């Protein structure tokens, strides 16, 4: 009877859990990647425009380009193509000079007898003194009344594999795309291309606000082995691209940049473009030369957490995250709409707590109860059968013997620092730590100390909370890179490596005023003190302790 009752309760619980899953429909993975990544992609304009009136006829000429780019650092660093900003690379005066020459050529074509040099001087003087000349170098961000002027930090060479330029605008907390490893790309891998093709917003009756809407296109790697004339590698894509797409990031299925649109072959008969992308190796090198590093910031975590809550229909929680994003970066392209949508869902009483885990847990509990009841019932039945067979054989029944009571000794755990772990370690079984624990201790300039106990084979240190084995997201740890160090067990000790295996940290790891070897790392010994950064006022001290190693040496 009890088994039947348990089953009676289990069925509704599991049905409710299934209903919760069914009602909470999720967007596709590519839709999620598009939402995560769109805010990091920007529109860029660079060039100059001039007009001149000669014999009651107006002549005009524009020299410049409109393209795409994307943030690679929260402090306003943007990657784009060199050819997108080439027209303004030498400054305003050179751009004026170029416009004057082009206008003079047009006038000369209509009036062959005019002195072209004299016309050039007249035009240059005129565009210098009135509004007939416009110089523009801007980055367009959503929710901003004015475009952001940029400065060039690292200028590449237009065309080819070095067509990469790093520009910077004055902003903070910008949403950032992480660069991946283009060497790992395989034929027919799925990719997303995000950018601002001009064909998507010119020539149609679209609102002005539409120019802030990036286009997201699905595609595939159609060839990973194409070579330019200088033998540099490029990726051939099967994806939509058009004018204005130059500088668009190409993302893998993890949302990492594996290339940047730079060239396009054209089929004139079909009007089709075959885009090519620069691999990330050249992009990483340009970022390094510009004096910055590719790393994400707090806004990326808040935005991702907000979207996950939104998709779980926790609209109140999502709205809180989205408002925090807006406070840090008001120009975020998606955030206003997401806040409005969340408010509307809350007003429509769509917001709900996700009870699914509880329902599943209850279902599991009741299922376990059923198993126990079944076991008890079978055991009783077995005992009953055994008793019957004993009586039939007339075997003597032994006297009942009381089992001795064993007092359990409870060992008191030693005091230890509990270090936050990344999500993948959330359910790692707890282990009692002894006084002989091996650990590293980090001390920041404010005197705050954190300890990471070492027992496993490998550990990671950085400010990326989802990657690191120690939480360094608080203030005072900014000298540490997003992915700063890896520790691998070697014998009784650990070897520390700079960076994450693909790139070095920004401020490096130092011992005896020398950076540790970029390939060999450094085998830690008890008492070693390493420095992260060389500025004493902004430096983290890493101390390694291995008491067992100390005793064995003694």
Tell me, what's the pLDDT at 56?
A: 82
Residue 140, CA distances (Å) to 177, 194, 494 in order: 17, 15, 48
Of the pLDDT bands very low, low, confident and very high (cuts 50, 70, 90), residue 207 is: low
Helix, strand, or coil (residue 374): helix
Tell me, what's the pLDDT at 410?
A: 37
Tell me, what's the pLDDT at 113?
A: 85
Where does residue 524 fall: left (phi above 0), alpha (psi -120 to 50 degrees), or beta otherwise? beta
d(CA 251, CA 58): 45
Region 287-302 average pLDDT: 94
Tell me, what's the pLDDT at 18?
A: 44
The CATH architecture that domain 423-553 belongs to is Sandwich (2.60)
15 vs 377, residue with greater confidence:
377
Percent of the chain with pLDDT over 70: 74
| Structural domain boundaries in the chain | 33-289, 297-347, 423-553
- DSSP single-letter state for residue 418: P
d(CA 139, CA 147): 6
Tell me, what's the pLDDT at 411?
A: 39
d(CA 40, CA 332): 8
Residue 65 has pLDDT above 80, yes or no: yes
Helix, strand, or coil (residue 470): coil
The two tokens of residue 523 are 């085998």
Tell me, what's the pLDDT at 122?
A: 82
Where does residue 112 fall: left (phi above 0), alpha (psi -120 to 50 degrees), or beta otherwise? alpha
Tell me, what's the pLDDT at 294?
A: 95
Tell me, what's the pLDDT at 549?
A: 66
Beta-strand (E) ranges in 98-214?
Answer: 133-140, 148-149, 151-154, 165-168, 190-195
Phi/psi at 287 (5° precision): -60, -45
Tell me, what's the pLDDT at 404?
A: 38
Tell me, what's the pLDDT at 19?
A: 43
Of the pLDDT bands very low, low, confident and very high (cuts 50, 70, 90), residue 554 is: very low
Tell me, what's the pLDDT at 20?
A: 42
Which stretch of DSSP H or E encloses residue 63? strand 57-73
Pick the range with the lowest mean pLDDT from 202-216, 233-247, 411-425: 411-425
Q: How confident is the prediction for the chain on average, in pLDDT? A: 78
pLDDT, one tens digit per residue, over 132-158 is 778 889 999 987 878 999 999 999 988
Question: How big, in percent rounded to 5, are the helix, strand and coil portions of the chain?
Answer: 35, 25, 40
User: CA 142, 146, 148 angle in degrees (round to 5)?
Assistant: 80
Tell me, what's the pLDDT at 293?
A: 94
**Which value, in Å, is the radius of gyration of the alpha carbons in the chain?**
33
Tell me, what's the pLDDT at 238?
A: 87
Tell me, what's the pLDDT at 57?
A: 86
Residue 115: partners with Cβ closer than 8 Å, 6 or more residues away: none
- DSSP single-letter state for residue 179: B
Sheet holding 485-490, edge to edge: 458-461, 485-490, 493-498, 522-523
Q: Note the CATH number of domain 33-289.
A: 2.40.10.120
pLDDT, one tens digit per residue, over 510-537 is 998 888 988 889 999 999 999 998 888 8
User: CA 506, 468, 539 angle in degrees (round to 5)?
Assistant: 40
Of the pLDDT bands very low, low, confident and very high (cuts 50, 70, 90), residue 29 is: confident
User: CA 293, 294, 299 angle in degrees (round to 5)?
Assistant: 120
Tell me, what's the pLDDT at 405?
A: 39
- DSSP single-letter state for residue 86: G
Tell me, what's the pLDDT at 517?
A: 86
Pick the range with the lowest mean pLDDT from 172-186, 200-214, 424-438: 424-438
d(CA 367, CA 44): 59
Residue 189 has pLDDT above 80, yes or no: yes
pLDDT, one tens digit per residue, over 465-489 is 889 999 998 888 989 999 999 999 9
The two tokens of residue 457 are 């084979």
Side-chain half-sphere exposure of 494, counting CA atoms within 13 A: 26
pLDDT, one tens digit per residue, over 370-385 is 555 555 455 555 444 4
Tell me, what's the pLDDT at 200?
A: 61
Residue 38 has pLDDT above 70, yes or no: yes
192 vs 96, residue with greater confidence:
192
Residue 385, CA distances (Å) to 280, 376, 400 in order: 74, 14, 19
d(CA 502, CA 513): 24
Residue 456: partners with Cβ closer than 8 Å, 6 or more residues away: 489
Tell me, what's the pLDDT at 336?
A: 93
Q: With beta carbons less than 8 A apart as the criterion, state whether 443 and 543 touch.
A: yes
Of the pLDDT bands very low, low, confident and very high (cuts 50, 70, 90), residue 21 is: very low
Q: Residue with structure tokens 């780019």?
A: 69
DSSP string across 485-540: EEEEEETTEEEEEESSSSS--SS--EETTEEPBTTTBEE--TT-EEEESS-TTS-E
Question: How many other C-beta atoms can be found within 10 angstroms of the C-beta atom of residue 350?
Answer: 11
The two tokens of residue 187 are 């034929």
Of the pLDDT bands very low, low, confident and very high (cuts 50, 70, 90), residue 544 is: very high
Residue 203 has pLDDT above 70, yes or no: no
411 vs 206, residue with greater confidence:
206
pTM (global) more than 0.85 = no
pLDDT, one tens digit per residue, over 84-128 is 998 888 888 888 888 888 888 888 888 888 888 888 888 877 765
Tell me, what's the pLDDT at 541?
A: 96
């Amino acid at each position: 009877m009890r088994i039947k009752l348990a089953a009676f309760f289990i069925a509704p619980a599991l049905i409710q859990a299934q209903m919760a899953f069914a009602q909470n429909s999720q967007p596709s993975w590519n839709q999620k990647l598009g939402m995560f990544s769109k805010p990091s992609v920007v529109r860029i304009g660079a060039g100059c425009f001039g007009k001149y009136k000669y014999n009651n006829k107006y002549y005009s000429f524009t020299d410049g380009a409109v393209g795409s780019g994307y943030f690679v650092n929260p402090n306003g660093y943007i990657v784009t193509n060199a050819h997108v900003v080439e027209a303004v690379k030498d400054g305003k005066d050179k751009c004026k000079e170029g416009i004057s020459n082009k206008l003079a050529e047009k006038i000369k074509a209509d009036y062959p007898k005019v002195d072209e040099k004299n016309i050039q001087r007249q035009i240059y003087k005129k565009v210098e003194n009135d509004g007939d000349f416009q110089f523009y170098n801007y980055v367009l961000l959503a929710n901003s009344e004015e475009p952001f002027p940029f400065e060039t930090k690292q200028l590449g060479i237009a065309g080819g594999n070095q067509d990469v330029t790093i520009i910077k605008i004055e902003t903070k907390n910008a949403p950032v795309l992480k660069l991946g490893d283009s060497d790992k790309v395989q034929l027919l891998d799925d990719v997303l291309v995000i950018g601002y093709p001009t064909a998507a917003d010119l020539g149609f009756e679209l609102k002005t606000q539409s120019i802030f809407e990036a286009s997201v296109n699905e595609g595939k790697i159609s060839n990973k082995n194409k070579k330019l004339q200088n033998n540099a590698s490029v990726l051939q894509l099967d994806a939509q691209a058009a004018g204005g797409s130059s500088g668009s990031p190409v993302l893998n299925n993890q949302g990492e940049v594996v290339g940047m649109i730079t060239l396009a072959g054209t089929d004139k008969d079909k009007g089709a473009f075959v885009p090519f992308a620069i691999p990330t190796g050249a992009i990483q090198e340009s970022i390094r030369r510009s004096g910055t590093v590719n790393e994400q910031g707090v806004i990326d975590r808040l935005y991702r957490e907000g979207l996950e809550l939104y998709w779980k229909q926790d609209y109140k929680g999502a709205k809180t995250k989205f408002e925090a994003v807006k406070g840090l970066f008001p120009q975020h392209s998606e955030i206003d709409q997401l806040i409005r949508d969340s408010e509307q869902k809350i007003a429509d009483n769509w917001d709900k707590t996700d009870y699914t885990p509880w329902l599943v847990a209850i279902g599991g509990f009741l299922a376990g109860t059923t198993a126990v009841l079944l076991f008890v019932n079978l055991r009783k039945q077995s005992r009953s059968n055994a008793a019957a067979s004993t009586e039939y054989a007339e075997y003597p029944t032994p006297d009942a013997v009381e089992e001795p009571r064993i007092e359990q000794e409870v060992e008191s755990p030693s005091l230890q620092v509990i270090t936050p772990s990344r999500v993948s370690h959330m359910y790692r079984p707890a282990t009692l730590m002894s006084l002989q624990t091996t650990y590293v201790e980090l001390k920041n300039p404010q005197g705050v100390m954190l300890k990471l106990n070492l027992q496993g084979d490998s550990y990671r240190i950085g400010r990326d909370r989802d990657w690191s084995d120690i939480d360094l997201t608080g203030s005072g740890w900014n000298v540490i890179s997003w992915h700063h160090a890896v520790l691998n067990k070697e014998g009784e000790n650990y070897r520390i490596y700079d960076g994450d295996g693909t790139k070095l940290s920004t401020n490096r790891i130092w011992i005896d005023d020398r950076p540790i070897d970029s390939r060999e790392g450094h085998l830690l010994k008890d008492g070693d003190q390493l420095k992260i950064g060389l500025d004493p006022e902004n430096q983290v001290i890493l101390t390694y302790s291995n008491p067992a190693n100390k005793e064995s040496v003694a």
